Amino acid sequence: MWPEAFDPCPDITTSVSGVAPLVTHVERALGTPTASLHVGLGGCPWSCGRGGGGSGRVGTTLSGGWEDGWARGLMGLCPSSLLQILSNARLFLENLIKYGILVDPIQVVSLFLKDPYSWPALCLVIGELGAKEGLGWRRDRAGLLLHVVNLATILCFPAAVALLLESITPVGSVLALMVYTILFLKLFSYRDVNLWCRERRAKAKAAPAGKKANGGAAQHPVSYPDNLTYRDLYYFLFAPTLCYELNFPRSPRIRKRFLLRRLLEMLFLTQLQVGLIQQWMVPTIQNSMKPFKDMDYSRIIERLLKLAVPNHLIWLIFFYWFFHSCMNAVAELMQFGDREFYRDWWNSESVTYFWQNWNIPVHKWCLRHFYKPMLRRGSSKWVARTGVFFASAFFHEYLVSVPLHMFRLWAFTGMMAQIPLAWIVSRFFQGNYGNAAVWLTLIIGQPVAVLMYVHDYYVLNYEAPVAGA
């Protein structure tokens, strides 16, 4: 039913054979071919200053070969793909004829600058919680208590501000909560890795003289506790990863042309997403309110299918914008060598494979700090996997319900539904049928959640006040 979770410490390099087709296809559609692709080499996520491991490998740059990808993509453009392009073009032209041009970049500013309080102050509570060498048991307990209080504050403080301060817009709240959520995951990893290193150091001291616990001399310039500096902490907080290491792989220099391409992609794709949302999604969602109010199921299904096309297109553009353009731009600025932000999730033949490969930073964090620790504490694999999905469902609901000031649990239910869905797909669909089932859930599932939240938000904020008046 479930494939084995991959080991985060393999001594292998990352293949780009699966990444190239998607990047080539998307960039061909955007008209911006890529000359190089950064891929980090796999390695042990925490080295504690020992030899070997991931931090001893340097991320590489795989260049060239993209012209062949263009040729293969053009030769492989089948008639069904052409029909899909023409069909979507017809829908887009129909939208333009019916509504005219609705794109208004100035209107987007109102989502953030409704008033001066629309941007919550990101006063992050950052403390150096890695316990120092020589702390006793009592101080370790105090450090753990401070760590728990700090993490709880990171999640609860922005949520309280978003719920109590009415002048904060939902979009501003989402961005603020995302920053705090990333900070939560990073500090959790930071504390865990330093704890593991401290325990390893204590074992090394207790080992007999003349023997080395790690089997050899350290190959890296930084080892515990020399890493407990604000410079090291803040580099990790801004690095495009959620898993802390004492020695991250680094690239030798900043490539200005590569960085410029990523920045131009970020700018262009941001405008494209905003335009598609204003022109295509907003009218469709607005026209879906009456069928929901009348409970006209045939019209609801028609609106759902009509919304699925722009929603999925925007989701694909967002994936490329965030995981390829944004994260590579940040990595290039920080000379961060590990560029494995995603794998070939588009080839997924099971739901499990999709969740393991579409968001590598989050998957590695869950595997390293949640799944494997639960196994070490005696939990079964099924319980550990269910726990991972439960944690993911909580954060999905946290990032949606708090900004909207309503708790409907649609995101939570959708994430928990992935558990039985994964069993159904793996049990009854194999090969291409499994891949089709995964894509179908992506295309249909997301607009269902969007319509449910928009409908409830509309009823709560517009119909309810009118009825009360």
By annotation, the residues acting in catalysis are 396
Q: Token match 């970049």: residue?
A: 105
Phi first, then psi, for residue 381 (nearest 5°) are -65, -40
Q: Token match 């070969």: residue?
A: 65
Cα gap 323→23, rounded to integer Å: 11
- On whether the CB atoms of residues 364 and 340 are closer than 8 A, the answer is no
Short-list 375, 348, 353, 343, CA closest to 1: 353
Helices (H), ranges, 207-346: 230-238, 256-276, 282-286, 289-294, 297-319, 327-333
Sign for the pseudo-dihedral over CA of 310, 314, 317, 323: negative
| Radius of gyration for the chain, computed over Cα atoms and rounded to the nearest angstrom | 24
Short-list 196, 207, 249, CA closest to 57: 249
Cα torsion at 128, 132, 136, 140 (round to 10°)? 30
Q: Token match 């890695």: residue?
A: 130
Helix (H) or strand (E) holding 308: helix 297-319
DSSP label at 346?
G
- On whether the CB atoms of residues 38 and 59 are closer than 8 A, the answer is yes
